[in-house]
């Protein structure tokens, strides 16, 4: 005996909570996105991961240069008084506090001075001239430091007349010593490398196993990568603002954000799958 026919569909009437017919969109059966869109998502995540690994490699390269003492730079600037150049000022730069190395020069007729081959690390600049108050400036020389941390390679120092025994002191040092600087460099390197590996993991998971939640995790790691080091300390901010690494992190974050948005738009019916 054949089974009974299915009951007829209910009449086309609005739901009890629906004020106007058709106000709520009809639910659509979820469909997996096309292979082309999935390839775009995978490409975005892989590119973001590679950019983060490149930024980590840049941090590691400069950190190794600092650890081995192979980095030197030029420190220069101008000394003025009341807005006018001040020539003949004796300028001394040394490593605080014991002064293991010291360089001495004087300003020229335009008030400019230059020190070549200043090693990486903390340094103390002293400016002295007859009839003017002694001025001291603490700086930290490192390749990652930019204008956001006070551009220590191009100083502008103003001296005031007087013979006060207490010197005028200014602290432009972003880090107190090389050890603290290297700790920030290598911790930032590790964090960015981990974020890059997570982004690659998300892209490969979406390509091989089609696991969209992992893609969301990978894209989110790329977006949040610049903020992870700041959760530990504010000092890595000087490293993150280094123009080459900042460009890599910004592009990786944009790609990661695009991957998250496209994944959510394409796979939202399937996001309940297991990771």
pLDDT per residue as tens digits for the range 104-163: 999 998 999 998 888 878 888 999 988 888 999 888 887 665 444 445 667 888 888 887
Tell which wins on pLDDT, 224 or 177: 224
Given this model, what pLDDT does residue 274 score? 40
Tally of domains in the chain: 2
Lowest average pLDDT, out of 70-74, 188-192, 232-236, goes to: 232-236
Contacts (Cβ under 8 Å, ≥6 apart) of 79: 85, 86, 89, 91, 107, 111, 113, 127, 157, 158, 159
The residue that leads in pLDDT, 163 or 14, is: 163
* Co-location of 217 and 171 in the same domain: no
Mean pLDDT, rounded, for 233-252: 75
Strands in 102-106's sheet, in edge-to-edge order, are 102-106, 90-94, 121-128, 135-141, 168-171
Among candidate residues 153, 175, 197, the one where a domain is terminated: 175
My answer on whether omega of the bond before 97 falls inside 30° of 0, hence cis, is yes
169 shares a domain with 75: yes
Cα–Cα distance, 42 to 142 (Å, whole number): 37
- Do 227 and 258 lie in one domain? The reply is yes
How confident is the model over 223-252, as a mean pLDDT?
Answer: 76
Tell me which residue of 138, 160, 159 sits closest to 150, measured CA to CA. Answer: 138
**Residues 253 and 222: beta-carbon distance below 8 Å:** yes
Instruction: Write the pLDDT tens digit of every residue in 246-258.
Output: 888 889 999 999 9
- % of the chain with per-residue pLDDT over 70: 73
Average pLDDT over residues 257-272: 74
Domain assignment of residue 210, given as a range = 35-65+179-267
The pLDDT score that the predictor gives to residue 266 is 75
User: Is there a single domain that holds both residue 222 and residue 192?
Assistant: yes
- Give residue 181's pLDDT band: very low, low, confident or very high (50, 70, 90): confident
| pTM, two decimal places | 0.69
Q: Which of 115, 150, 175 is the C-terminal boundary of a domain?
A: 175
Categorize the per-residue pLDDT at 200 as very low, low, confident or very high, splitting at 50, 70 and 90: very high
- Kindly state the tokens that stand for 32: 């997996």
pLDDT in the model for residue 251: 93
């Amino acid at each position: 005996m054949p089974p009974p026919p299915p009951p007829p569909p209910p009449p086309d009437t609005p739901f009890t909570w629906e004020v106007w017919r058709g106000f709520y969109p009809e639910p659509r059966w979820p469909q997996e996105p096309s292979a082309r869109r999935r390839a775009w998502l995978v490409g975005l995540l892989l590119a973001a991961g590679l950019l983060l690994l490149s930024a980590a490699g840049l941090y590691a390269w400069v950190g190794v240069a600092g650890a081995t003492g192979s980095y030197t730079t030029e420190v220069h600037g101008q000394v003025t008084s009341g807005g006018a150049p001040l020539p003949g000022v004796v300028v001394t730069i040394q490593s605080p506090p014991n002064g293991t190395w010291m360089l001495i020069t004087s300003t020229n007729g335009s008030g400019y001075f230059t020190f070549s081959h200043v090693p990486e690390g903390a340094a103390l600049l002293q400016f002295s001239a007859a009839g003017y108050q002694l001025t001291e400036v603490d700086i930290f020389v490192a390749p990652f430091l930019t204008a956001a941390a006070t551009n220590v390679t191009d100083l502008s120092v103003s001296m005031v007349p007087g013979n006060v025994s207490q010197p005028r002191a200014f602290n432009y040092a972003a880090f107190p010593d090389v050890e603290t600087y290297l700790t920030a460099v290598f911790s930032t390197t590790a964090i960015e490398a981990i974020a890059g590996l997570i982004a690659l993991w998300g892209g490969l998971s979406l390509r091989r196993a089609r696991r969209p939640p992992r893609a969301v995790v990978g894209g989110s790691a790329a977006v949040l990568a610049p903020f992870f080091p700041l959760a530990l300390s504010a000092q890595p901010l000087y490293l993150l603002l280094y123009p080459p690494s900042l460009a890599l992190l910004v592009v990786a974050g944009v790609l990661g954000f695009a991957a998250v948005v496209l994944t959510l738009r394409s796979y939202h019916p399937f996001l309940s799958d297991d990771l």
